[in-house]
Amino acid sequence: MRNDNYWQKFQRQRISRRRLLAAGGVGAAGLALVAACGGDDEPTADGTPEGTPGASGAPVRGGKWAFAITVDWGTIDPVTSVATGPQIFPRIYNTLVEQSRVNPEFLYADLAEAAPEQPDAQTFIYTIRQGVKIAPNALTIPERDLDANDAKVWLDRVQADETAVPRAMTNQYLDTYEASADGRTFTINLKSPYSYFLLRLGAALGGTIPPREFFEQNISLKDQGVGAGPFMIRPGTYQETGGIVLDRNPNYYRKDEATGEQLPYIDALEAFRISDRQARRTAFQSKQIHEYGAENAAEAAQLEQDIPGLQVFEEPSNQHISFTMHPEKAPWTDERIRRAAMLALDRQQFVDLIVGTENGKIDGLVHWQLGPFALPEDELATLQPYDPAGARELIRAVTGEDTITIKVMYPITDFQFHDQHLPIWRQQMEAAGFVLDVEPLDLTAWLTRYTQLQYDSSLSANRAYETAEIPLDFHAAHGPQGDDLYAVGLGKIDAEVEAAITASKQAGSSEEHIQRVLDAQRLIYQKGPAFLPIMSWTTFDLRHGFVKNYPPGIGESDWYVNDWWLEGQPS
Amino acid sequence: MRRYIVRRLLQAVVSLFVLSVVVFLLLRLVPDTDPAIVRCGLTCTDASIERIREELGLNDSYLVQYGTWMRNLVTGSLGTDWQGGSVSDELQRRLPPTVELLIFTMLVTILIGVPFGIISAGYRNSAADYVARFTAVLGLAVPNFWLAALVLLIPLQLWDYSPTVTTTVGFTDDPWDNLRQIVPPAFVLGAVSAAGVMRLTRSSMLEVLGQDYIRTARSKGLREQVVISRHALKNSLIPVVTILGLQLAGLFGGAIVIEQIFNIEGVGRYFLSALLRNDYQVVQSLTLYVGVVVVLLNLFVDVIYAWLDPRIRYS
Amino acid sequence: MSAVGAGILTTAPDLSAPASSRWRRAGTLIRTNPLGVFGLVAVLLLVVFAVFAPQIAPHDPEAFVGDGLLNPTPEHPFGTDRLGRDMFSRVVYGARVSLIVGFSAVLFGTLLGTGIGIVSGYAGGAVDSFIQRTVDTAIAFPILLLLLILRKILGASLETLIIAVGIAIVPAVARVVRGAVLSERNNQYVEAARTLGASTPRILLRHIAPNVVALSIVIMTNLLGTAILAEATLAFLGLSIPDQVTWGKDVSDARNSFPVHVWWAFFPGAAITLVVLGFNLLGDSLRDILDPRLRGRL
């Protein structure tokens, strides 16, 4: 046998799962199998489900699932939306193949029949599934089957629109793509190997494909849309600063494997805009919404006491607060000052005070939940020690004085503990000799300046890092999207760092991939990082007891899956 | 009398004009408030900013921008907000719940404040008086968002009950649900201003009760209740009415907080988010809108006052 | 005792009565007015806490001295907040901001408002109209906008808060004072003084000012409570002072955790309530003491 490349080995591991997914239906039993193998354990050899929460008895048809969103939609154009839209795009549209960020073993083949064939590391051949039929609609989109041409036109649009989300990836890696004449095969060629390609192409953020008529006939997707997903938008319910209602798509192709029933089981989804946490919790407790993200373990425990039958799902959050220094602005141009800021950080104190030692851990440049891609704790202790005295020495060496004044901006938001990070961080920095000239901004203003690099240094609000690529890319010259947004990386001023980061994305095998990611981190530590993640924690997703068979352990991929049902839901 | 009204109307127009200019200029002259940058968002380039500035008309001279705004107003349009949506449409959606909230708040204020004030004055220095005064001041002293949180949470903890906090229910859609949603927050807002009204009613009534003509009425042998209701009440309510106008302006601020806590999609929150994202059009249009209401209301109160007390008219 | 109908110059308002009888009256009123005493005590407590905060508070209010979210214990009589900071120390230090913001803003606003009200009420005519219309416009101007603008110009500091709250107070004060001046001005003894040739400043000083000053004092004490509540509301909206300990911020931060952790929010909230209550009760009593006639004015 020749040397398998990374992809071939990866694919082989997935074959046993693929069989389930490719057969055209992921019924309750099948999904339970996949879900049971989630997390960072090795997949079990046999497929026995391990008591998946919720899965019990026969599915019940009907009901409306209610959930809360916390920010405005902005737009519900799946090609350009970066805000809340991705929560509903998998429910309205389709992606080729989706891969779970939290559990790479989980693949969801949607518009494609199965994971793509890969004759080599840069070529992906998708076989398009038949029967993926568009929902009935009043937007003059015909109720036909989607085919490879829809994917092609979609990528055309991505290439043409500078605000398209997938551009971040396609700009750097996409070479050519074509749809076969019969519409059953879609082929993509990359310029170079890219370890995260499958994941990013299929992501809810930017990876869902609307029918090509929208692009060919220039029909706006800003506040309307229709696709071949499990649900369709109920006309008149979308409000840009409010919610939306989705009804079951009567043309949806998936069926319950066991019973032959058309999926989804539930009749409708409704989203409500509730930005105040207390109001959200009230809505959850009074069963006006069926899902709630608790702030911490204590809140989850309290709600468990108050609500009988509550289901609590602990999942890694992949979000963390970070401190960013603009390496092209004084005093951050000096690597010693950057290092001083790093030495000032007592990350363990953040963990202890905010989420508690059992719910979080300190982060290196790549956060701990990414397993082998994160540096081990003992190595981190030497690379990023807590040493305020050392920080003071560095400051003295650079400025000749005991303190240095720095300008910091931060967003005023109560999202994901940010307001708690601030006082702790301030005290640590001040103890290390930094005098803070603080500029609080409201979230929108902060985000704009953050993306456009108009700051000296900043505490950032929560960021979601699904793979090792993005935290490393924050050190890259052109930023995590390759378009210079957020780009305050060392890669701008140091070609060696840039080369290491690029290399980490083009590995041939998984071992090489991991090694390159680790090496890139070590190199950045040597040079004095400009982007410092602080800690990551576990989230607590709460669902009422009457929500059955909701898949845990696959992260946001659960937006694609629609095999769950509501049983005994109060009216 | 008519001349007085006309004069005041003209003055009101001038007031509003000045208000509009002040708001207009302040928004634009303050540094670091370019709405184009905020709207441009994540994928911003210099070209995009320029495009948005053109679209929002920010590159025109101040005079032109002001003129456009005024022209829009005259034709009934309140302009477009930062995403290009119509401000009038948004207001149409958001005004009913806020107006309803304020109406119920005023109702609560009057229905609780005035009677308790009268009782407190009538039975002065009795236990009832002390209790009423203490409770009133307590209502004044608790932060309104705190009271609101309690009103929301206590029924939740005890009975798992909560009014609808997911969407804003219109009165025409579901009257019972709508009342369940609006009355508790109105109660919270109203409790605070009721305290002020109660104290004012009390003190005003006390002064009136000390007047000669009241003593005359009493010496004529009239029952206390008749004395109060027929003679004292009307006069003592004059200052109360004047205060109500001021109260309303203050209630807008309270409405912002209450709307956030109860998740009511009203004008208050709309205004706050427009403020935070430097949405010129919304802020200036809403300010003018509210300004018109407040100025007219004060005018109305002043007219009543002048009608009751001719000396004021000619001052 | 209203002077209307008496028509005699010597029937002056109670404020002109000899000082000793006023003190005697005051003493009696204190005895018969327990609420006012309560208010006074609350206010004094606030001042003591604020001034002697470093001596009274056992810990640095920003230091992380204990486990988070503790219930009250002997070591932490008010418990701790989420980050483990001692709530008792935070309440004590928070009194400073409440006191400073309250007094400064209200003093500033009341002085300005009283001045405007006096001028407007006494001058009458076109001046009065002009000022009144300006005041109307000012009432209609959104305070939040003013605060945000001030923040952009001056930064998010204590001064900004004081100026914004102070300006917010001015229109209401001006209106009330003007009303008082108007009715004073039309009193017969003032008319008589004018007929006798007394100059405007003399009239203002001897007849109008005393009552207005009394009125202002009462207004101020009530407004002090309003100012403290205003800070709390701004903290709720995220617009309070970022780097100081305030009661408003603590109550606001604690609100979200309220049903889970009760004590965190309780003490700062109780502090606000107590102090505002105290100011209002004190104001009521002051009003009773200073001039019974004023009861009709407020």
Query: A408 in helix, strand or coil?
Result: strand
Q: How far apart are CA A534 and CA A372, in angstroms?
A: 18
pLDDT at A428: 93
Question: Worst-scoring range by mean pLDDT, A37-41, A326-330, A363-367?
Answer: A37-41
**Which residues touch A287 (CB under 8 Å, ≥6 apart)?**
A544, A570, B160
- Sign of torsion, CA A542 A547 A551 A556? negative
CB contact under 8 A, C238 and A278: no
Residue A470: which residues within 8 A CB-CB, separation 6 or more? A463, A480
Mean pLDDT within A330-350: 92
Q: Would you tell me how many other CB atoms lie within 10 Å of the CB of residue A500?
A: 24
pLDDT in tens, A210-250: 999 999 999 999 889 999 999 999 999 998 888 999 999 99
What number is the average pLDDT over the span B268-272?
85
pLDDT digits (tens, 9 = 90+) for A302-315: 899 888 889 998 87
Better-predicted residue by pLDDT, A272 or B133: A272
**pLDDT for A556 beyond 50:** yes
In a domain, C18, yes or no: no
CATH number of the domain enclosing C155: 1.10.3720.10
Confidence (pLDDT) at A440: 77
Per residue in A432-446, pLDDT tens?
999 988 887 766 667
Q: State yes or no: pLDDT of A45 exceeds 50.
A: no
Q: Is the pLDDT of residue A447 over 50?
A: yes
Most confident stretch, A144-148, A167-171, B305-309, C143-147: A144-148
Structural domain tally of chain C? Answer: 1
How far is the alpha carbon of C51 from chain A, nearest alpha carbon, in Å? 24
3-state secondary structure of C33: coil
Question: What was the pLDDT predicted at C28?
Answer: 67
Query: B134 or C48, which is more confident?
Result: C48
User: Is C24 contained in some domain?
Assistant: no
The token pair at A453 is 């690099």
Window from A21-35, A121-135, A513-527, B113-127 with minimum mean pLDDT: A21-35
Top-confidence range, A151-160, B31-40, C13-22, C217-226: A151-160
Among A245-259, A344-358, A550-564, B203-217, which stretch is predicted with the lowest mean pLDDT? B203-217
> What pLDDT is stored for residue A30 in this prediction?
29
Choice between B209 and A527, residue whose per-residue pLDDT is larger: A527
Question: For the residues A174-182, what does the mean pLDDT come to?
Answer: 93
Predicted local confidence at residue C247, as pLDDT: 92
C290 has pLDDT over 50: yes
Q: Do B153 and A282 touch (CB under 8 A)?
A: yes
Q: If you average pLDDT over residues A59-82, what whole number do you get? A: 87
Give the whole-angstrom CA distance, residue B265 versus residue A339: 47
Q: What is the pLDDT of residue A414?
A: 56
Structural domain harbouring C136: 3-10+35-294
Please compute the mean of the pLDDT values over residues C266-279 and round it to a whole number.
90
Interface confidence (ipTM) of the complex = 0.83
pLDDT in tens, C26-47: 666 666 777 788 888 888 999 9
Classify residue A432 by burial, with Cβ atoms within 10 Å: 0-12, 13-18, 19+.
buried
The answer to whether residue C114 sits within a structural domain is yes
Amino acid A314: pLDDT: 83
Q: Return the exposure string of A251-276: e unless at least 16 CB atoms fall within 10 Å of the residue's CB, then b.
A: bbbbebbeeebbbbbbebbbbbbbbb
Closest CA to C232 of C275, C263, C261, C262: C275
pLDDT higher for C273 or B119?
C273
pLDDT at B37 over 80: no
- DSSP 8-state assignment for residue A368: G
What phi, psi does A407 have (nearest 5°)?
A: -95, 130
Q: Name which of C38, C136, C190, C281 to mutate to probe chain B: the one with the most chain B Cβ atoms within 10 A of its Cβ.
A: C136
Q: Which of C45, C39, C53 lies closest to C96, judged by CA?
A: C53
Q: B touches which chains (3+ CB pairs under 8 A)?
A: A, C
Cα distances (Å, whole numbers) of residue A267 to A245, A554, B141, B259, C92: 11, 23, 48, 31, 56
The reply to whether residue A278 touches residue C69, judged by beta carbons under 8 angstroms, is no
The winner for highest mean pLDDT among A207-211, C96-100, C114-118 is A207-211
Chain C positions in Cβ-Cβ contact with residue A423 (cut-off 8 Å) = 62, 83
Rounded to whole angstroms, how far apart are CA atoms B66 and B20? 9
- Which pLDDT belongs to residue A64? 92
Strands (E), A388-456: 404-412, 434-442
Q: What is the pLDDT of residue B38?
A: 65
pLDDT at B63 over 60: yes
Nearest to A523 by CA among A490, A474, A486, A487: A490
Selection from B107, B90, B125 nearest residue B279 by Cα:
B90
How many cross-chain Cβ pairs, A to B, lie less than 8 Å apart?
Answer: 85
Among the partner-chain residues C69, C242, C256, the one whose CB lies closest to the CB of A277 is C256
For residue A264, cis peptide bond before it (omega within 30 degrees of 0): yes
- Which of A161, A171, A278 to mutate against chain B (most B CBs within 10 Å)? A278
To the nearest 10°, the Cα dihedral for B172, B175, B180, B183? 70
B165, B257, B265: best to mutate for the A interface, most A CBs within 10 A: B165
pLDDT number for residue B10: 86
**In the prediction, which pLDDT does A195 show?**
80
Chain C residues 88-147 with CB within 8 Å of chain A: none
Q: Which residue of B has its CA nearest to A81?
A: B42
Of A111-125, A476-490, C214-228, C269-283, least confident by mean pLDDT is A476-490
pLDDT at residue B68, rounded to an integer: 83
Averaged over B131-139, what is the pLDDT?
78
Quote the pTM value: 0.82
Helix (H/G/I), strand (E/B), else coil: A208: coil
**pLDDT at position A10, please?**
36
Average pLDDT, chain A: 82
pLDDT score for A31: 31
Is the CB of C134 less than 8 angstroms away from the CB of B257? no
Q: Say yes or no: C64 contacts chain A, CB-CB below 8 A.
A: yes
Whether chain C has a CB inside 8 Å of the CB on B268: the answer is no
Give the model's pLDDT for residue A3: 33
Report yes or no: B291 at the C interface, CB cutoff 8 Å: yes
Instruction: Determine the pLDDT at residue B45.
Output: 67
- Residue A240 contacts B, CB cutoff 8 Å: yes
% of chain C at pLDDT higher than 70: 84
Rounded CA separation A567/B228 (Å): 63
* Alpha-carbon span B170 to B93, nearest angstrom: 9
Q: What is the pLDDT of residues A362-400, one digit of tens each?
A: 888 888 887 788 899 999 999 999 999 999 999 999 988
pLDDT at A444: 66
Of all residues in chain B, the percent with pLDDT exceeding 70 is: 87
Confidence of residue C124 (pLDDT cuts 50, 70, 90): confident
Read off the pLDDT of residues B278-290 as tens digits, 9 standing for 90 and up. Answer: 788 888 888 888 8
What 3-state class would DSSP assign to A255?
strand
Kindly report the nearest CA distance between residue C293 and chain B, in angstroms: 7
Domains of chain B, each with CATH number or no CATH: 1-82+279-315 (no CATH), 90-276 (1.10.3720.10)
SS3 state at A360? strand
pLDDT tens by residue, A73-112: 878 999 988 778 888 999 999 999 998 877 777 889 999 9
How many angstroms away from the CA of A286 is the closest CA of chain C? 14
**Segment A153-161 long-range contacts (CB within 8 Å, at least 24 positions apart):** A153/A212, A153/A215, A153/A216, A154/A79, A154/A209, A154/A210, A154/A212, A154/A215, A156/A215, A157/A79, A157/A215, A158/A79, A161/A79, A161/A80
If one compares A522 and A463, the residue with the highest pLDDT of the two is A522
Half-sphere exposure of A480 (CA within 13 A, CB side): 20
Q: Which pLDDT score is estimated for C20?
A: 57
For position B245, what pLDDT does the model report?
67
Mean pLDDT (chain C, rounded): 79
List of E strands, C190-240? none
- Length of chain B counted residue by residue: 315
Q: Which stretch, A337-341, A564-568, B70-74, C152-156, has highest mean pLDDT?
A: A337-341
pLDDT score of C207 more than 80: no
Q: Which of A282, A289, A485 sits opposite B43 (nearest CB)?
A: A485
Confidence of residue A190 (pLDDT cuts 50, 70, 90): very high
pLDDT of residue A270: 95
CA A326, CA A451: separation in Å to the nearest integer?
12
**Option in A298, A353, A412 nearest C84 (CB):** A353
**Phi, psi angles (nearest 5°) of residue B199:** -65, -40
**Average pLDDT, integer, range B184-206:** 82
pLDDT higher than threshold 50 for residue A8 = no
Closest CA to B125 of B209, B58, B191: B209
Angstrom distance (rounded) from CA C22 to CA C88? 40
pLDDT of B40: 65
Q: Report the pLDDT averaged over residues A147-164.
A: 91
Q: How crowded is residue B234: how many other Cβ atoms within 10 Å of its Cβ?
A: 11
Confidence of residue C153 (pLDDT cuts 50, 70, 90): confident
Are B265 and B100 contacting, i.e. CB atoms less than 8 angstroms apart? no
Evaluate whether C68 touches C84 at the Cβ level (below 8 Å): yes
Q: Do B161 and A286 touch (CB under 8 A)?
A: yes
Of B141, B153, B311, the CB nearest to C276: B141
* Range of weakest confidence among B164-168, C25-29, C91-95, C186-190: C25-29
Domain-located, residue C239: yes
